Chain A
């Protein structure tokens, strides 16, 4: 059951793969096991060049995927990816690693479904195990209005050939026996939107896989390199200033999350974005018992079990805008209470840790991708709570946009100009929980 059954294929594996990208194999693992040799570094340290063809700000899944597809699909290899900390230290390493494409608008469904298709082929394309587990995704409905939205989403999904259907409490109980599907609870489960191709993935492996593949194609990855300013000459971007020196570049791409307005401000581009923290938590590991992703919008919680056995919980964004990523007791209490309403049997489980990431919320809960009024300055921002699952498709589309100068059809509805024209892509009903 995969969304690639709709006949489209992934783009990678175009026959120009560098040798280093085929380096990981069962034979290699065996041979390495017999020796004491170190594995070669997956990506390399470089000195900062004084100029690059493309500078990408932000070394998360979006920035690295954009760099990889620029090199692999379009042959643009003189590319630098800058990160002020280490790669994957922002939203790419803080999300709850859930992938799905059962969105609400036709534009959104088409876009996220392409991402799921790319994720399905990612391990083979990158020669890196990203541990994508398509275990199915359940969005629970606890009242009539959410059941109506589920039906709406299911029909929009089916028209786009995405596997998605509304199921009743009996089927929900069959899929997840530990859920309290009785009618005696405060929020009884009336049904669910079931999306079999959805699932979870190892988010760090996606970042590392793209980094290794981009590096093998000649992309320079610069960690601990913070952008301090962006140079704009007569409406054209000309370079960036960093804590390691200045770089001149005709094209600069803002692929940051949390800091996207601050980076865009440097180029003088206003962004319709407000930054909110989102908190998540993980329990101690237990034996596998939950092999679907369970989401409840009414209870503001989503839950999945990792391959290690830990339960990962996420919530909606914090109730006020902030750049602070400190955890709060209110979140812990809330998420614990809501998880127990769904699965009372978990009452003895202990939380191991909690963390927060920054979400750049846009007015319509859709991202902002493509060119800006400053020539050569591109944005791939505003990813709210749905950025990780879109990493591959936005990397692919942004690379095409940069290489050809034309905005690809799949991201055309998500341009910055839509806020001037009033063409908003309202995804509030499907983008996240509890909004």
Chain B
């Protein structure tokens, strides 16, 4: 079983959550360049190692938070609140 540390509910089984993808900054679509928007859409990194990502506690508090996860071992470190 893989537990994710929800900052509001505590550690819960990963099946309660929805993966929100890598935590990357979204460029403002009104002012960004097509090249930057393309990189944001398609050319994100696919790292092997520790990475920061967003998760959504869909079967719990229904809030988003950030988690540090090692993509090779699925080991996780405590997340922090995210809006």
Contacts and interface: CB of A to CB of B under 8 A. Distances in A.
Bin chain A's interface residue count: 20 to 34
Question: Chain B contact residues: over half helix, strand or loop, or mixed?
Answer: loop
Interface string A237-276: 0000000000000000000000001100000001111110
A275 to B, nearest CB: 6
B42 interface: yes
Interface in B25-65: 38-39, 41-46, 48, 53
Contacts of A363: 41-42
Contacts of A420: 38
B8 interface: no
A322 interface: yes
Contacts, number: 46
Given A324-B73, A326-B74, A319 B42 contact: no
Contact of B15 (A261, A272, A330, A419): A330
Interface in A287-341: 319-324, 326, 328-330
A419 B43 contact: yes
A250 B41 CA distance: 32
Given A321-B71, A420-B38, A275 B46 contact: yes
Interface in A352-383: 363
Given A270-B39, A320-B19, A321-B19, 16 more contacts: A261-B45, A262-B46, A262-B48, A271-B46, A272-B42, A272-B43, A273-B46, A274-B44, A274-B46, A320-B53, A321-B21, A321-B22, A329-B1, A363-B41, A419-B38, A419-B43
Name, among A321, A328, A329, the residue most crowded by chain B CB atoms within 10 Å (CB to CB): A321
Contacts of A274: 44, 46
B18 A319 contact: yes
A58 B4 CA distance: 34
A419 B71 contact: no
B72 interface: yes
Bin chain B's interface residue count: 20 to 34
Contacts of B42: 272, 363, 419
Interface of A: 261-262, 270-275, 319-324, 326, 328-330, 363, 419-420
Interface of B: 1-2, 14-15, 18-19, 21-22, 38-39, 41-46, 48, 53, 71-74
A321 B43 contact: no
B65 to A, nearest CB: 14
A261 B19 contact: no
A274 B22 CA distance: 10
Contacts of B38: 419-420
